[in-house]
Amino acid sequence: MVYVEISVLAANALIHLIEKKKIREISYSQMREYGLKVGEILDTEYSIPMLLITDGDALNYLQSYSKFFDVKSFGGEDAKIILKDNFNAEDLKDYFWGGLRYEIWKAIEKANEQVLDSVA
């Protein structure tokens, strides 16, 4: 079993969205779908189960990375994870890609195509 930190998922989702669509934010519901897809790919293609954390814990955990991300809630709308203006995709790669396992990397790449390419 592997534990993929939500910060790693958020960073990789935002790297993809910045590079492909010039988007610097992702909604929490999109992040949830993305994380579930990464877990599904790890399980089905690599036989590696992934530990998932609950929604409240995930948002609280992201606060530990407030250097990079803002978490904004707009009334009753879905919370958004936003990359701060003073950071870019290269900064996220430098910080979050260092110790990423090959199987996790491949699962993230596939989830990028399957989930994030449809984000407007």
User: Over the stretch 27-62, which tens digit does the pLDDT of each residue have?
Assistant: 988 999 999 999 999 999 999 999 877 666 766 777
Average pLDDT over residues 22-29: 94
Note down the domain range covering 14.
Answer: 2-118
Tell me, what's the pLDDT at 64? 79
Contact 12, 24 (CB under 8 A): no
Nearest-angstrom CA–CA distance, 40 and 58? 18
Contact 92, 82 (CB under 8 A): no
Q: Into how many domains does the chain fold?
A: 1
Contact 82, 5 (CB under 8 A): no
Question: Residue 71 pairs with which residues in a beta bridge?
Answer: 81
Tell me, what's the pLDDT at 59? 67
CATH number at residue 33: 1.10.10
Q: Is 27 exposed, middle or buried (0-12, 13-18, 19+ CB in 10 A)?
A: middle
